[in-house]
Amino acid sequence: MISKKMENMVANSSAIRAMFEEGNRLAKIYGSENVFDFSLGNPNVPAPDAVKYAIKELLDEEDPVVLHGYTNSNAGYEDVRIAIADSLNERFGTHFCSKNITMTVGAAGGLNVILKSLINPGDEVIAFAPYFGEYRSYTDNYDGVLVEVSPNTTDFQPKLDEFEQKISPKTKAIIVNTPNNPTGVVYSEETIQKMAAILEKKQKEYGTDIYLISDEPYRELAYDGIEVPYLTKYYANTIVGYSYSKSLSLPGERIGYLVIPDEASDSEKLIGAVNVATRILGFVNAPTLQQKVVKACLNEKTDISYYDRNRETLYNGLKNLGFDCIKPEGAFYLFVKSPIADEKEFCNEAQKYNILIVPGSSFACPGYVRMAYCVSYETIVNSLPKFAELAKQYNL
């Protein structure tokens, strides 16, 4: 009796989520110290203390009717949006003001809101494999068609030639995610410039607007001092979707924002549509207490040393065991080549050692597996002997 669309969705339901639930089941049986759950991007670093202090101060000093009430605009509190715009302008030399910012229920909420606002049935949305599998569901929610650019397994930078060929008059949006889930790759400034040039050219050729949607939950997680270019500066029709899930370790609180710059085509209309979409999709507004929290914590620095140690330890450990992978520059994922072509089978074998990893098929990139290293350092260290046994099994 459920809808046909949902029948399919349930059947192809997230392998990541299923594995995360399986991890919790195994932890109950074997003890969590004996389960090596690399399945979900659920940060292991606690939210900074500033979050706790901010909440307590807000509770003591703000009128609860305002603090927990509907916001005047569905876009969120004006003061919060001003503070975010100012902070972005300071960091990236942009020129946003409050109207360019819409507070969202995390990045996932933001992506749904912007796709609902843009997509007509049959419109195409391009994503570069490997990509976060939910992009397909989000696009399908609005009867859009996800068009894949095949993975470049040499360095996992986007294949720009194929990208150019796949842009059609029906292309409405491109989703990029840098630092990338699942590869940890950061797109260089040169890549962004080339991508922007292709988009400009194709917009002119077809007389269309093509929006570049930058999904940025991992912006603050970049290692070795690498720069993550701010995309609105390279291409006018850029929309940014941000989340505090990873930067402040608040994934359960569902707080993020969209940036729609004045330079984007039909900016004003699009901002209006996003406002209405926020309401009618049932978000209504981003959770109010958390809006105020992120304002209070705008200058908090994400401590990436924790993830960095995990990154080094897992990457070096696996390389030494003979596994094949590139070193991530950002986010908290390692994308490892499966020693056998059928990576689902490899994941099943790993599970026999209580190692939970996600098949690359979930990211449109079979033959690889994703390991989320946002876990305790002990998990990494203790997993390595198990990975050693697994490597031996495959004669690595």
CB of 283 to its own copies, least distance (A): 6
Closest CA to 212 of 228, 230, 186: 230
Measure the CA–CA gap between 238 and 265, rounded to whole angstroms. Answer: 9
Q: What is the closest distance, in whole angstroms, from the C-beta atom of residue 238 to its own copies in the complex?
A: 14
- Smallest separation (angstroms) from its own copies to the CB of 50: 11
Of 75 and 88, which CB lies nearer to its own copies in the complex structure?
75
In the complex with its own copies, which residue's Cβ is closer, 24 or 34? 24
DSSP element (H, E) containing 380: helix 377-393
* Rounded least distance, CB 360 to its own copies, Å: 20
What does the buried/exposed string (b/e) look like for 13-40 if buried means 16 or more CB atoms within 10 Å of the residue's CB?
Answer: ebbbeebbebbeebbeeeeeeebbbbbb
**Which residues does residue 133 pair with via DSSP β-bridges, in sequence order?**
none
In the complex with its own copies, the residue whose CB is nearer, 156 or 235, is 235
Q: Is 102 or 338 the residue whose CB approaches its own copies more closely?
A: 102
Choose between 40 and 318: whose C-beta lies nearer to its own copies. Answer: 40
Would you call 182 exposed, middle or buried from its count of C-beta atoms within 10 A (0-12, 13-18, 19+)? buried
Query: How far apart are alpha carbons 196 and 209 in whole angstroms?
Result: 13
Query: Nearest approach, Cβ of 65 to its own copies (angstroms)?
Result: 5
Residues 296 and 49: their CA atoms lie apart, in Å, by: 12
Query: Hey, what are 355's tokens?
Result: 């190692």
| Length reported for the chain | 396
3-state SS class at 293: helix
Nearest residue to 124 (alpha-carbon basis) of 139, 114, 141, 109: 139
Complex with its own copies: residue 165 or 305, whichever CB lies closer: 305
* Residue nearer to its own copies on the CB measure, 148 or 266: 266
- Closest approach, Cβ 143 to its own copies, in A, equals 8
The CB-of-289 to its own copies minimum distance in angstroms stands at 6
d(CA 245, CA 261): 23
CA–CA separation, 77 vs 67, rounded Å?
10
Q: Which is nearer to its own copies, 249 or 338 (CB)?
A: 249
Q: How far apart are CA 231 and CA 240, in angstroms?
A: 8
Q: Which of residues 146 and 321 has its CB atom nearest to its own copies in the complex?
A: 146
Residue 188 token pair: 């260089």
* Token pair 């490892």: residue: 336
Which single residue is written with the structure tokens 């720009």?
Answer: 160
